[in-house]
Amino acid sequence: MDILSDAVAAMRLGTPHSNRTVKHAPWRTHFPAQGNSAGFHVVLQGSCWLVPDGGEPVHLQVGDVAFMPRSHGHAITDHPGGERTATDIGAQTVLLCGAYYLDDSRAHPALAELPDVIHLPARVGQHSPLRAAIDLLGHELDTRDGSGAIAPLLEVLLLFMLRAWHDAHPTGTGWVAALRDPAVHTALQAIHAEPGAPWTVQSLAARAGVSRSVFAQRFTATLGTGPLTYLTWWRMTCAARLLRESDALLRVVAEKSGYTSEYAFAKAFKREFGVAPGQFRAQGGLDAA
Give the start-end residues of each E strand in the chain.
Answer: 12-24, 28-31, 37-45, 48-52, 58-60, 65-68, 74-77, 92-102, 118-120
- Flag whether pLDDT at 144 surpasses 70: no
Q: Residues 6-34: what's their mean pLDDT?
A: 87
Q: For the segment 172-230, what is each residue's pLDDT rounded down to a tens digit?
A: 778 888 888 999 999 999 999 999 999 999 999 999 999 999 999 999 999 999 999 99
Euclidean distance between the first and final Cα of the chain, in Å?
28
The rounded distance, in Å, linking the Cα atoms of 141 and 117 is 25
What homologous superfamily is domain 176-282 in, according to CATH?
Homeodomain-like (1.10.10.60)
Residue 82 has pLDDT above 80, yes or no: no
Q: Yes or no: say if 117 and 165 are a contact pair by the CB < 8 Å rule.
A: no
Three-state secondary structure of 248-280: CCHHHHHHHCCCCCHHHHHHHHHHHHCCCHHHH
pLDDT the model gives residue 172: 72
State the Cα angle at 6 between 107 and 14, rounded to 5°: 65
| Chain segment 102-132, per-residue pLDDT in tens | 877 777 888 888 899 999 998 866 788 898 8
* pLDDT of 1 over the 50 cut: no
151-162 mean pLDDT: 86
pLDDT category at 289 given cuts 50, 70, 90 is very low
Tell me the C-alpha to C-alpha distance, in Å, between residue 21 and each of 155, 166, 285: 20, 28, 35
- Residue ranges per domain, the chain? 3-168, 176-282
Domain 3-168, architecture per CATH: Sandwich (2.60)
pTM of the model: 0.80
Q: Which pLDDT tens digit goes with each residue over 262-287?
A: 999 999 999 999 999 999 999 876 54
